[in-house]
Amino acid sequence: DYELCEEWGHLYPVPREDLINLHREHLLHLLEMGNMEKALQLLQRIEDPGVCLAISEQSLDQHPNLAASHFLADYLTAHFYASLTTARRNEIQALYIGSKVLLTLPELSRVNYFHLSSRPLLMLEQLLMNMKVDWVAAAVQTLHQLLAGQEIGFTVEDIDNLLSKYAEKALNFPFTLKEKRS
């Protein structure tokens, strides 16, 4: 049905907003089905870069599944980096990095942290608070690799400060140890 509507749009004048809505719904459908190749082909068929940008951004703002969010964040960064505001660029890159961190977690646990995918530092802090040390190690390694030379609103130093803060709390004893005297 989407393809039929797309053909119809080539034959008859369709308002820009309706065209954007059609392509956005088609793109989200393809991404939800896991068909990234067809989704990429759909985006490449769209001739107007402004329409393509609007479709991609609106689709990302609908908070699709993890794979779809990762795909859209990557696509927007690769094709529209210069067209985005600095704040939006940082937001999309944070979502891309957050989705990469989520992919390092065990599959069944990802759903518990998906709501934090656009806030990787907060996700890391949540993992620390939940005592998921092995997961934190994998997440930190991924973050260090992804943050090399990028500016997205937080740095490697911020990660190190967060780890130091929780390491200090782990060593903080609420009572004093008394020596046994004989």
Q: What is the tens place of the pLDDT at every residue in 53-111? A: 999 999 998 888 888 988 999 999 889 988 888 888 888 888 888 888 898 899 898 88
Tell me the H-state helices in 1-85: 2-11, 16-32, 36-45, 49-61, 66-80
Instruction: Note the pLDDT of residue 4.
Output: 80
Question: Domain locations in the chain?
Answer: 1-84, 85-171
Classify residue 170 by burial, with Cβ atoms within 10 Å: 0-12, 13-18, 19+.
exposed
Average pLDDT, the chain: 85
* Whole-angstrom distance, CA of residue 173 vs CA of residue 178: 13
What is the predicted pLDDT for the residue at 89? 87
pLDDT band at 178 (very low <50, low <70, confident <90, very high): low
User: Residue for token digits 């740095």?
Assistant: 155
For residues 82 and 118, is the Cβ–Cβ distance under 8 A? no
Alpha helices in 81-179 (DSSP H): 86-104, 110-113, 120-129, 133-147, 156-171
